[in-house]
Amino acid sequence: MLLLLSTPFANQTKATSSDCKKTPPQSKGPFYKVPSKIFNNDMTNNGKAIGKKIKVYGKILDNKCKPITNASLDIWQANSFGKYNHKADLSRSRKDNDFFGYMRLLSNEKGEYNFNTILPGSYKVSKDFTRTPHIHFKVTSKQKQLTTQMYFKGNKMNKKDFLFRNTYNNNALEASIDESFRNLTYKFDIII
């Protein structure tokens, strides 16, 4: 069931017109699959997943900063050990059976979405390349589609990750902590 946002999220800051640049696209990577958990905004199996619990929220907007209703969001990420719940992930990193790692949401009538998850771990792609923690998003509206990745502002690994570093306007991909919430909450708006 899609959980619509209630009062705690009503104070989301409004995007200004200067924020209306399209969010930079990022690669889908090898670990995408169609989420089987449809319209479930909890990846943590009711908090049983291992790792630091976080909430992520934001808006899906068009290039005039108008909210997009009923956009579909496919969201996927590694668990806290840096392991994807995907058969193509051959790493020996630990699995977590309480962490789904894939979900699909719909933006509500104000273009908003939110979900509960854990901070993803980093993972090694090769001897010399480790991905900084990130969450993948594929957003589909009636007219448009955008695939991108969200990063965690302030993580020192971001600058060492060339997929992040080589992206123009990459500060638009860094989610900030919203300190108005008691629990660790990140805000990430996506402009498609």
Four-CA torsion 100, 102, 104, 107, nearest 10 degrees: 100
Among residues 124 and 144, whose Cβ is nearest to Fe ion?
A: 124
Question: Which three-class secondary structure state does DSSP give residue 75?
Answer: strand
**Minimal distance, residue 123 CB to Fe ion, in Å:** 7
Locate 149 and state its tokens: 């990745």
Task: Name residue, tokens 């993948």.
Answer: 136
Nearer to Fe ion by C-beta: 4 or 88?
Answer: 88
Q: List the interface residues with Fe ion, window 78-137 (CB under 5 A).
A: none
- CB-based burial of residue 172 (10 Å sphere; 0-12 exposed, 13-18 middle, 19+ buried)? middle
Nearer to Fe ion, 69 or 130 (CB): 130
- Interior CA angle at 4 toward 108 and 35, to 5°? 75
**To the nearest whole angstrom, how small is the minimum distance from the Cβ of residue 120 to Fe ion?**
8
Hey, is 52 helix, strand or coil?
coil
Tell me the closest approach of the beta carbon of residue 132 to Fe ion, in angstroms: 10
Q: Sketch the per residue contact string, 6 through 45, with Fe ion: x for CB under 5 A, - otherwise.
A: -----------------------x----------------
In this complex, which beta carbon is closest to Fe ion, that of residue 66 or of residue 124? 124
Minimal distance, residue 153 CB to Fe ion, in Å: 18
CB of 29: closest distance to Fe ion in angstroms? 5
Distance CA 12, CA 28 (A): 28
- Whose Cβ is closer to Fe ion: residue 29's or residue 51's? 29
Residue 51 DSSP label? S
Q: Which residues bind Fe ion (CB under 5 A)?
A: 29
